């Protein structure tokens, strides 16, 4: 498992908004250095606020922008760029990851808004004729994910489920579990890392 904290905490963001507070408190979750040698603590201090502002300009709420900003650093921490294709501009890479996450989020929101989420509606989202290989792969992935979740400590699993499956913000999960935002993000990050490890051999 990775360290539960950044090497150091970032300075307070200028904006006194809830999102700014979430980013400042959540900095402890992306900690240290990733495998390509980037100091994510320093990058968070330098760019988190600008990334969150860029996401808000794309139409996201302050809370969702804060969450996706932290998702960006977790994504790079868990799945850094390949060493065979070095990235010379870490900041640009982080902004690109954040942009892709926002596109996925907005696309999912548009889809859910279009589809009546009853059983028939869910069926309309699914591929009506997946290949046997896809079916087998999806079942294996689902089984491995379920097993990985079952292996997590209860508090880690609950934080992950609330944040990723019930789409609660880090602040909302913290209030629900009676924890600090930074602790919640550390738990979510640990869950990501554990699940990614279990799925790596699939």
User: Which tens digit of pLDDT belongs to each residue from 50-97?
Assistant: 999 999 999 898 988 988 998 898 888 877 887 656 678 889 999 999
10 assigned to some structural domain: no
Confidence of residue 127 (pLDDT cuts 50, 70, 90): low
6 assigned to some structural domain: no
Instruction: Judge residue 154's burial from the number of C-beta atoms within 10 Å of its C-beta, 0-12 exposed, 13-18 middle, 19 or more buried.
Output: exposed
Range of the domain at 139: 18-199
CA distance 51 to 66: 9
Torsions phi, psi for 127 (to 5 deg): -65, 120
2 assigned to some structural domain: no
178 assigned to some structural domain: yes
pLDDT given for residue 202 in this prediction:
63
CA angle 193, 110, 136 (to 5 degrees): 50
């Amino acid at each position: 498992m990775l360290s539960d904290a950044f090497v150091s905490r970032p300075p307070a963001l200028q904006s006194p908004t809830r999102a700014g507070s979430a980013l400042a408190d959540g900095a402890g979750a992306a900690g240290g250095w990733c495998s390509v040698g980037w100091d994510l603590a320093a990058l968070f201090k330098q760019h988190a606020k600008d990334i969150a502002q860029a996401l808000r300009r794309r139409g996201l709420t302050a809370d969702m922008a804060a969450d996706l900003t932290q998702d960006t650093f977790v994504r790079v921490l868990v799945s850094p760029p390949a060493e065979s294709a070095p990235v010379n501009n870490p900041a640009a890479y982080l902004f690109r990851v954040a942009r892709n996450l926002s596109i996925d989020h907005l696309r999912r929101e548009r889809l859910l808004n279009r589809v009546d989420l009853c059983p028939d509606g869910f069926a309309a989202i699914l591929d009506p004729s997946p290949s046997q290989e896809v079916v087998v792969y999806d079942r294996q992935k689902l089984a491995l994910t379920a097993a990985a979740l079952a292996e997590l400590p209860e508090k880690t699993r609950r934080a992950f489920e609330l944040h990723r499956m019930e789409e609660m913000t880090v602040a909302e999960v913290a209030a629900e579990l009676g924890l600090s935002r930074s602790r919640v993000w550390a738990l979510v990050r640990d869950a990501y890392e554990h699940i990614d490890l279990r799925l790596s051999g699939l």
